[in-house]
Chain A
């Protein structure tokens, strides 16, 4: 039996894979899969959100310990607070400009490989998380299946973080560190573009 040791990661992965498959067979499944799909696509369809999410992962990787684990764990919770504000319909000013600004800020941090104290980094990311969550939260009441929508955008956001972290692993190499900083610069540029769009200068 010892020879037949299953790879735990594979088992876990298979398990995760099986879960969203299962709802597809449901009699009530259409709501669930619709919700999952629209939720999953929501963060991916807003390029400003998308790049900023990747930037969070990149920066986390660049900052190293302890940011690399503090950020992924606290980000969802802070985002949930923003989401709550959105769900409750609280008015929050300048949502789109602030998201664009945080994209610029995060991109800049990555591009110049800035290493502020953890609380500064956490605050910056936290502000962004609240506004990002707020934008999702506003969509939640319209979703076909609220929990499926939430799970969908959470998976998408988590994968974007993971993408950033995986790219960020390159910082271990000299050339890789440059690539990461270049990514940060690109993200900053995208942020500038959307900021101009948000305040009505272009588009």
Chain B
């Protein structure tokens, strides 16, 4: 009896998510409202190349069980912040976009396989992703951006998304056997996106 409403809720949310996109397509400056903290918080969310692997990473962590998963809640935001700070001093590496897409594909594949990873490997993925995305977001700051606020906002949203996604995925995995399969199918889709766009990038490098 419980399954129906939940599925419905999920489907409805997805439908809303999709339906709202064209409507709000006329984007405006995020920077003008609520200050640089919030523009830092929104910046990663505007890039699917970042949000997608974040969620995949969280689900991957959830597959390792709560005892291991919780470490990424600490490690990932830290790496994000360090990456952001590093972007102030070091220019973005040229392999950035490539690495970003590889991370999408790798995390997606690992979720699809429901891979049991050693904690070190999981954290290594989290660190590499955090550093890269932190640097990419940090590079988006302009001269008038308050750096401290922007980077705090970015770190906060990284922490928030990773925590919520990990917690939700762990809770979601309890119960019926179709649930891990649903998450694995989702991971497989993420991997598919990563592989195809990676292929495109190798043929004709995309910006980002």
Contacts and interface: CB of A to CB of B under 8 A. Distances in A.
Interface of A: 7-30, 32-34, 36-37, 40, 68-69, 72-77, 79-81, 83-84, 87-89, 133, 136-137, 140-141, 145-148, 150-151, 154-155, 157-159, 161-162, 166
Task: State the main secondary structure of chain B at its contact with A.
Answer: helix
Contact of A16 (B7, B10, B28): B10
A23 B47 CA distance: 7
Contact of A27 (B46, B161, B167): B46
A32 to B, nearest CB: 7
B198 to A, nearest CB: 8
A30 B31 CA distance: 16
Interface of B: 6-7, 9-14, 16-18, 20-31, 42-43, 45-49, 51-52, 55, 104, 109, 112, 161, 164-165, 167-169, 171-172, 174, 178, 181, 184-186, 188-189, 191-193, 195-197, 199-200, 203-204, 206
A33 B25 contact: yes
A87 B203 contact: yes
Contact of A17 (B14, B49, B195): B14
Nearest to A159: B14
11 contacts: A15-B161, A16-B17, A22-B51, A25-B42, A32-B46, A40-B18, A75-B188, A83-B192, A137-B199, A146-B197, A147-B104
Contact of B48 (A23, A40, A72, A136): A23
Nearest to B38: A25
B17 to A, nearest CB: 4
Contacts of A77: 109, 112, 188, 191-192, 195
A141 B168 contact: no
B21 A23 contact: yes
A147 B48 contact: yes
B48 A26 contact: no
A53 to B, nearest CB: 13
B204 A76 contact: no
A37 B21 contact: yes
B6 A10 contact: yes
A25 B27 contact: yes
Contacts of B11: 159, 162
Instruction: Give 3 nearest A-B pairs by CB, closest first.
Output: A26-B46, A29-B27, A24-B24
Of the listed residues A15, A30, A72, the one surrounded by the most CB atoms of chain B closer than 10 A to its CB is A15
Contacts of A84: 195-196, 199
Contacts of A157: 189
Contacts of A72: 181, 185, 188
Nearest to A69: B181
A79 B144 CA distance: 45
A36 B134 CA distance: 24
Contact of B200 (A40, A146, A159): A146
B203 A141 contact: yes
Contacts of A162: 11
Contacts of A137: 196, 199
Contacts of A88: 199, 203
A151 B193 contact: yes
A13 B42 contact: no
Contacts of A17: 13-14, 16-17
Given A23-B48, A76-B188, A84-B199, A28 B24 contact: no
B185 A73 contact: yes
B192 A154 contact: yes
Given A9-B10, A69-B181, A22 B46 contact: yes
Given A147-B49, A154-B193, A7 B13 contact: no
